[in-house]
Structure 1
């Protein structure tokens, strides 16, 4: 089967134009995805360049060679700018149009405009540089784990490599390079490569933006907007996995329940943010902190026994008491439970720490370490306050308070 380069170029023109319009449509639906708008504009401008290039021999050479290639370079420059915008970076207009300007200035030389191998080499070098720059920008942002990022790195890297080889292909001795680079087979193969690559690229751009949006939604669902720490549901899931991991390795964990209070019972958002930030400073990177309720927090301390957890709880208690930025009389009551006491189960740890915290409220103590005798003592106190005596276990007390 023989590929016809003109047909492939026309197909590339139509495909690129439609995909550019679709990218703009997706951007119109989600204006926060500004990179989609830049990429959509790049595809539309590139489609015009490909269309003019396909008209070679029918329209004037100034349009099919100089203008067409300049528009294609603008499209690649916008793709690079879109990648930078996706990574949170701005790109100057001069940087975007630098490659097209170099091309137009080069075409002012009659020796260049009259030499097809030279024109091919210049265009290939410029496109290879822009594709390579896009590859580097995507690679720098790899810490944000998005499924479509690596395919795009591979695609832009492959484009940079292929265009780089193309730039020197004509200067290599025959049969490795030489004149066949200007033959119809070469152009047909390259037109097919353009057709396939732009189709894949547009799909991956949309997928990448969707993945970031979903990741942002998951983050917002898992993180408390006031303090920036985990919400209750996300904390319970992550804590369960973390505790199970330490159970397999037979290493201890401790859970702290913290009741943060202020005079008059009024705790505003600024106080909560400050408390959460200062508490995080006292924890290790592997530890977890969560806002469990209005003024209640919980944290999981990894690879820590109850003897080590008590000083950490006392540090949190002292931090609140000594912080001049907080209202005078603000305090933190803390209940501590350890896996060495109740086992590696998150809910059991929470119930045990809650029993210790309740004892701290009753006796007005700052830090209380769980002991099995606390459950019955606390249960009897609660039942007595209600005017009746009932047997008490940790499961009798409502978890969602």
Structure 2
């Protein structure tokens, strides 16, 4: 099969232009993703550089050698900048053009400019460095679990490896005279690789953008924006698998249901900002007492819930009492006024309420109603025999004492 060089160049220009235009159109629709602007500029620069390179022999060498390669190197530099922007890292236009600057300075040296081997080696080395930097940026944010990020790493890594190999090969393989460079059998393969790189990376970068947007939308759908903890929908999604696992493994599970006392009065008296601050403060106080397996969420308003897998009733009571005590002891001042906020807590355990979500929520809600009816700022629920009770005070049991 014969790969026609002019045809490959035209196809590469077309794909790079389409990719750049698509990136810019996507950026116009969502300007918060500045990476799309960097990538759009990168692919359009790549199209211009390829066109100048393909016009070799029809335009002055200054344009088809000096400027063409400078623009192509700026293209890969812009791609790297886009990856930094995508992961919210500092970006400067200098990052994109330093390679081009080195190339143009070198072209001003007569001995370098007259050596085809030297020009290919330097251009390939700069392109390989940019590809390595792109792989590094992708690797640094690998924990976001986007499959497209790993595929993009493979593409950039392969592209960089091709250019890295070209550096020593330039001095090993005998190159034809510049006039016959377009007739060499290696050039079509190089252009074909560039075509594959252009199409593959454009697809992967757009896919990364789409995956990131979907992940953020999903996060927004499952997370309460004020407190940063799961909302009701997120709670159900996380709690159901935990409860199912506890049932399958015959492990105990407890649930705590929280309701901040007189919260409407605080909002009406001190304003909604004060109310929001208290909600956030309560979340911090509660999360300090929970373990990595526990599922804590905001059900709505001033109501919160937590599932404690592998937790017997006495440990759940102790945790609840510590949260109540920590929150009650908090000192809050708004202006010259001291604001006291407390929480009532209802507890339920799988030994009495069963291990399903509906049963635990129903039992915890009844216990919470009892806590409200008995004066608020207290923990209520079926008290296990192991609990030490004196009046209305629960003597805390160490957190791990009654956990599996």
| Bin for the TM-score computed over the shorter chain | 0.7 to 0.9
Displacement of 1:228 in angstroms is 1.4
* Partner Cα distance (2:291, 2:311) in 1: 11
Of 332, 340, 346, which aligns to 1:335? Answer: 346
2:332–2:340 Cα contact (<8 Å) kept: no
Displacement of 1:343 in angstroms is 2.9
Matched, 1:362 2:377: no
* Partner Cα distance (2:109, 2:356) in 1: 77
* Partner Cα distance (1:162, 1:284) in 2: 49
The 3 A distance-change label for structure 1 pair 347 and 108 is same
Larger mean CA deviation between 245-254 and 43-52 belongs to: 245-254
2:252–2:351 Cα contact (<8 Å) kept: yes
2:368–2:380 Cα contact (<8 Å) kept: yes
Displacement of 1:18 in angstroms is 1.9
1:355–1:370 Cα contact (<8 Å) kept: no
* Partner Cα distance (1:260, 1:66) in 2: 70
Aligned twin of 2:302: 295
Displacement of 1:58 in angstroms is 1.1
Displacement of 1:266 in angstroms is 2.8
Aligned twin of 2:188: 188
1:5–1:184 Cα contact (<8 Å) kept: no
Displacement of 1:235 in angstroms is 0.4
RMSD between aligned residues? 1.9
Instruction: Report the TM-score, using the length of structure 1 for normalisation.
Output: 0.87
Aligned twin of 1:97: 97
Deviations 1:354-390 (A, max 9, x none): 1111121222250112369xxxxxxxxxxxxxxxxxx
Segments of 5+ residues of structure 1 without an aligned counterpart are 373-401
Aligned twin of 1:133: 133
Aligned twin of 2:389: none
Segments of 5+ residues of structure 2 without an aligned counterpart are 268-274, 385-404
User: Secondary structure at 2:25's aligned position in 1?
Assistant: helix
Aligned twin of 1:25: 25
2:221–2:233 Cα contact (<8 Å) kept: no
Aligned residues: 368
Matched, 1:274 2:285: no
* Partner Cα distance (1:264, 1:111) in 2: 81
* Partner Cα distance (2:298, 2:349) in 1: 20
Displacement of 1:180 in angstroms is 7.9
* Partner Cα distance (2:145, 2:69) in 1: 35
Aligned twin of 2:325: 318
Matched, 1:219 2:212: no
2:253–2:309 Cα contact (<8 Å) kept: yes
Q: Which aligned pairs between 1:343-382 and structure 2 lie closer than 5 A?
A: 343-364=354-375, 366-370=378-382
User: Secondary structure at 2:171's aligned position in 1?
Assistant: coil
Displacement of 1:201 in angstroms is 1.2
Aligned twin of 1:394: none
2:346–2:365 Cα contact (<8 Å) kept: yes
